[in-house]
Structure 1
């Protein structure tokens, strides 16, 4: 015999836990199911173990500025109705100390387990029943009864409303799967092809060899990709790795980068490098690398001047053409990534359930009554810095408010 609930939520990550808690606190009988051994592993490892749980720079009047998708305006309704201030108030209510680190990014002072404990406490307040670990073996919809019937490792359960909060493919080592998109396909919903996002980029072959030795070097840059209205630029820190580039600048631009297209890097943003080198040539007898090291880290200066014999001399002896080429390279270094580090190193998955299939008010499938998709399963991808967690909270809240009792 089936156990019956008002709503079943599959996926005990940020969105699933919050949705179950909010619905339970509204008086609904909620079952939360997850296949993983540990709850909310992605929250636990996020933000270097401190959980960057939201971003206070998100503008509720134009939240789509920080999100990407086939329809970036889709996220406006949910994000306007549950704002960073709302989640901050909940964090404060639970006595969790936090701090602002950079550009509105909010982190716990202590371990990210505090956010998991908050969500579990909220679920407990809503009398949410949680089955974990518990695999969902099949999902079926009885149109006559208007109920979803699930076969699980703990038996059959049913409910008139089913919420899919199983995330994307990022970080498969902690249990990420494509379950949510398989359910979408089962019920005829379209998806936008998934791809790794907020992910390091790789550069192959001998061309990268001189820069592989710079692994571990970090510096602030301006980075851009695309042209015209599609051009995107970020001012963030860059990190050289053995295989390519990482750091916040690369993670941010990776979501907008298209395979085969170039990135443009400015290693001295706000500086007229040509003028600085021309001035140094007039006034200095130091080697080019030493003068360049006043603008960029010395390891980078040595790597660039080491490639050109014409730059391995005092700057007053260097040719104007060589210095001009060096200035251009520092200000507008154009390079084409080979690819990404893939889902294993990606923080999130771009793409997902096509937002044209869903209500922006409730996250319910337009053509499949009682079926909801929230969080990372949906084609809404935020910037680095707490925006994806805020989408998890906001989409979960919008869904929970739409769920009905009995």
Structure 2
């Protein structure tokens, strides 16, 4: 199978879109498929897993490169002659890729990963949100199938009138994020540092420190006995959140990856997520894989990932007291943390990246088959 992946984000930019694309490319390479990547110019490597990476013109917006329409896109797709086009979180660049694929008779799969409604609410765009949803609909109308990561996203897109929807979640590295990592000397050293030698329960967050992540909600935990916050990540709100949490027992660990990130999860006793605009919630799955109970808002992707009262809690994002109560119950009860953490690990056992990417290949084959059937029908009608 030949797959052209057009992505609004790629290495060296690190985010959920980039991570998903890399995992898909890993799977394609491991299973003997061919691929190319088309992405905004950001200093990407020329190849990834042996696949050619093509950069196209981009402009910077909020520290991210945004791909601009370019005649190069159509030429690259036509020259590669893919069996299917994969548009990752399509916007300007992805829309052009989908349109080019349609002109060339190539089936396309679009992966939705941006909470447009949440962004509009947070930025008080008012009537502009309607325009945003019209743009989303226009982009995804051209795709043969749009894959959504959660029931909340599916509801939003159905309400916007986007057709041909199907669910596709995300995988998690079950080996990298594992409860056994707590026995590693590096993880034990970090745990001892953060917990003051086991005196405190370490409640961790992993992700960007940005307005949409709602880290201001952590201020509701001020004064909680036996709590130490550990925040992994960086972003434009870093200084603001440091100032807001000043005086609280909190450690900012910066951006971590690889074994260092796995050690951080292993050093946590519980995991908290505060943003309400997640279309999925990859870090929640990583926390569950590491055997941690998860506290997250009852909004967006977390609704599908956290079983309230079983492997964590869903709190009311508009009620700071609810967040404090949920986190407080875990801080005060090590046995509850262990029980919920074990349940979380069991919940993600079937969501390895290999199984999730196999499911994606099934979506590819489905739209390819549908496109062939349409062509045959058209040929038959003119015979």
With normalisation by structure 2, the TM-score equals: 0.29
Q: Counting strand residues as a fraction of each chain, which structure ranks higher?
A: 1
* Larger relative contact order (Cα-Cα within 8 Å, sequence gap ≥ 6): 1
Q: Counting helix residues as a fraction of each chain, which structure ranks higher?
A: 2
